[in-house]
Amino acid sequence: MSVITLSVNGKEVAIPEGVSLLEATRAAGVDIPLLCHLDGLEPVGACRLCLVEVEGSNRLMPACTTAASEGMAIHTHTHQLLDYRRMAVELFFAEGNHICAFCVANGNCELQNVAVQVGMDHSRFPYQYPQRVVDASHPLFAIDHNRCILCTRCVRVCDEIEGAHVWDVGSRGSHCHIVAGLDQPWGEVEACTNCGKCVDVCPTGAIFHKEDTTAEKLRHSDRPALLKAARDEHVWRNQ
């Protein structure tokens, strides 16, 4: 395995060739906010929170989908990036109906955490109050679209890890929403194996166990990476 070196915020790091800039930031001990990315799932570069500046490029690059290369010099916390990140998080809050006070994920929500991380104490952008629905047709789980941030982790975990591809994205733009099956009630989708992986990876309170009430949802976002390691590399946690 060949190793490449690059600098993150002026600090030199050595990482294996072929990994992403995100791994480079981790090697440098730099924490950048993430929402759509989850270890173990294919990165999509949709939330734009992990954008970094690359010296010599006038475009911001998503750390999760950009391959690291020898000699790169990246910056993760410039004034401009901090500014953009906070705006992006404000846009997330404003486009959905996020009422933390009575959410199942309150206190254990990645959106809430990211808001803290970027220092968002209010949204400069007016809340949109979109008309969204709750689908509680599944016997074990429910999806509250009001809290969905369209990270597509559920889509990817169901497709890539579980192989059921129950979830997908319907419509366009601000009307985008996660659909079950052929845009059916979740409970009617026969492909669903009731595995609960979508619940595990949902960063907010959008997909949850029905028995959970306010602030009771637990996260298990490490599971896709564990499953992937078990399958691809035959590495188990209890080894």
Partner 1 sequence: MTTPDPSTPEPAAPEPSAAGLPDRPKLRLATVWLAGCSGCHMSFLDLDEFLFDLAAVADVVFSPVGIDTKTYPENVDVCLVEGAVANVDNLELARIVRQRTRLVISFGDCAVTANVPGLRNLLASADGSSQQAVLERGYLELADTGAQLPFAPGIVPELLPRVLPLHEVIAVDLFLPGCPPSAQRIKEAIAPLLAGERPVMEGAEMIRFG
Partner 2 sequence: MSSSGSTTPARQLRCCGASGCRSAGSEELQAALEAARDAAGHTAQELAIKPVGCLRLCGRGPLVACDGPGGTTLYGAVPPTEAGALIEAARLGDHGNDTLQTSRLDPQLPFFALQSSVVLEGCGQVDPESIDDAIAFGTYSQLRRCLHELTPEEVREQVKRSGLRGRGGGGYPTGLKWDTVALQPPGPRYVVCNADEGDPGAFMDRSVLESDPHRLLEGLAIAAYAVGADRGYVYVRAEYPLAVERLRKALQQARRAGLLGNGIDGTSFSLTIEVRVGAGAYVCGEETALLQSIQGQRGMPRPRPPYPAQSGLWGAPTLINNVETMAAVPVILREGGDWYASMGTAGSKGTKVFALSGAVTNTGLVEVPMGTTLRSVVEVIGGGVPDGSPIKAVQTGGPSGGCIPAELLDTPVDYESLMELGSMMGSGGMVVMGETTSMPEVARHFMRFSVNESCGKCVPCRAGTVQLAQLLDRFVERRASPADMAKLDALCRMVKATSLCGLGQSAPNPVLSTLRYFRHEYEAACRQPALCEQP
Provide the binding-site residues for partner 1, judged by CB under 8 A. Answer: 93, 97-103, 106-107, 112-113, 115-116, 119-123, 126-127, 129, 131, 215
- Tell me how far apart the terminal alpha carbons of the chain are, to the nearest angstrom: 24
Strand, coil or helix: 143: strand
Q: Which two tokens stand for residue 84?
A: 């953009």
Q: Nearer to partner 1 by C-beta: 26 or 98? A: 98
Q: Nearer to partner 1 by C-beta: 86 or 138? A: 86
Which of 5, 57, 128, 213 touches partner 2 (CB under 8 A)? 128
Residue 144 near residue 106, CB atoms below 8 Å: no
Which of 104, 150, 158, 202 touches partner 2 (CB under 8 A)? 150
Q: Which two tokens stand for residue 51?
A: 């954008």
Q: Nearer to partner 2 by C-beta: 5 or 78? A: 78
Which of 92, 141, 167, 208 touches partner 2 (CB under 8 A)? 92
* Site for partner 2 contains 47 (CB under 8 A): yes
Which of partner 1, partner 2, none lies near 44, with the C-beta cut-off 5 to 8 A by kind?
partner 2
Main-chain phi, psi angles of 176, to 5 degrees: -55, 140
How many chain residues interact with partner 2 (CB under 8 A)?
A: 34
Residue 2 near residue 118, CB atoms below 8 Å: no
Q: How far apart are CA 160 and CA 126, in angstroms?
A: 36
Which residue, chain included where needed, has tokens 């500046």? 53
